[in-house]
Structure 1
Amino acid sequence: MDVINTVRAGVLGHFGVASADAASVTFLGLEPIDILRIPDGDLVHYVTLGGSRHPMTDPTAALADPVRGPRAELALTLRGGVGAGSGLTKTLAVLVASPSVEGIVLQADALLDMGEPIWGGAPFTAVLLGESDIPAVELPEPAEPVRFLAATPITATEAAWVRIRGAAALRDAWTEAKIDVRDADRGAASL
């Protein structure tokens, strides 16, 4: 089963493009992770390819099932995007590799804190995962579909808010303040 090419076709089909620029990141002991960069008007979509090669497993499980289990990729959308040498592709690769490295399962409302800017000069040090507009990509049975999770960049203050009040409260604050979370130059929500 060629999971990555199936997922790539699903992503490109969703955005209605035949191809996309890609950066590849490799970590010792892991297979390469590609980050697709898809311009879309004044938005740029960054989508990982590689996190879904293997299912995510509970770190307490005695044996990892090589076929069954949730699979996920990350999608981050920014208005205007960021520069190629910004470090964003490496950060996305680190985040999507975290199930293989740290044994976590990526899911909606998860807070992934890097503790440092997620790209050079950014005020954002973490991402909040949520549901993505990209539809799941079906794989042959018995494998589960590959889900896409939207990765929203957040500041350290917003990350603290998520820890104290929860992801829904932060999203409500963004809505109330009319904050465009896709704006790479936005400030933190007033919490």
Structure 2
Amino acid sequence: MDVLDSVRAGVLGHFGVQRADAASVTFLGLEPIEILRIPDGDLVHYVTLGGSRHPMTDPTAAVADPVRGPRAELVLTLRGGVGAASGLTRTLAVLVAAPAVEGIVLQQDALLDLGEPLWGNASFTAALLGKSDIAEVALPEPAEPVQFLNVAPITATEAAWVRIRGADALRTAWAEAAIDVRDPGRGAAQL
């Protein structure tokens, strides 16, 4: 079983489904990235499949290790989801391809700022990564396991808050204001 088959099995097992709808996005020079769409009551989970194909490499490393290094996939959960024509699948593919394209390492509390709406005319232009409740997928040694990172869509104001105060401060503000970050129509936290 290859890496992506293992990751797909882990995702489907986590959500207790046999299959998921998928869209494929391809960028010049990169292997295809799939975005799995998994309805779950009033929530829709979008999970990338392809970011973990290769380990992420520290951009300051002299040589990239083809086996060792962190691997990650992204999970975006939205209440009610968004339309297929919204551009969301492309955005998630751009985010998960960032390590291959820009040499960044996806990790908890990372701020990914696109400077444009994450989908359609959304007010969210950036994403804050956090720990997902999907269990890591173990790979044969010496490869590191594949981790899943939640994507929280955030506004430009919230992104600035993260840069100044940190990710935990924004999460605290959300909790205090009872903001559901899974609501695609939510407003920005009052910071």
| Whole-angstrom distance in 2 between the partners of 1:12 and 1:155 | 30
Structure 1 residues 86-145: Cα deviation after superposition (integer angstroms, max 9, x where no partner): 000000000000000000000000000010000001110000000001110000111000
Using the alignment, how far apart are the partners of 1:61 and 1:154 within structure 2? 31
CA distance in 1, matches of 2:40, 2:172: 26
Equivalent position of 1:111 in the other structure: 111
Q: How many residues align?
A: 191
**Which whole-Å CA distance do the structure 2 matches of 1:181 and 1:58 have between them?**
30
Q: Which runs of 5+ in 2 are unaligned?
A: none
Q: Could you say which residue in structure 1 is the equivalent of 2:77?
A: 77
Report what 1:150 is aligned to.
Answer: 150
* CA drift at 1:60: 1.2
Structure 1 residue aligned with 2:44: 44
**Structure 1 match to 2:185:** 185
Structure 1: runs of 5+ lacking an equivalent: none
The root-mean-square deviation of aligned C-alpha atoms, in Å, is 0.6
Matched residue SS, 1:52: helix
Deviation at 1:21, TM superposition (A): 0.2
Aligned counterparts of 2:175 and 2:57: Cα–Cα separation in 1: 34
What is the TM-score with the length of structure 2 in the denominator?
A: 0.99
Could you say which residue in structure 1 is the equivalent of 2:125? 125
**Partner residue in 2 for 1:6:** 6
5 Å-filtered alignment, 1:62-101, equals 62-101=62-101
Amino acid at match of 1:156: A
Aligned twin of 1:137: 137
* Partner deviation per Cα, 1:63-95 (whole Å, 9 max, x = no partner): 111000000000000000000000000000000
Q: 4+ runs of 1 displaced by more than 6 Å?
A: none
1:43-79, Cα deviation, whole Å (9 max, x unpaired): 0000000000000001111111100000000000000
Q: Hey, what's the Cα distance between the residues in 1 that align with 2:86 and 2:123?
A: 13
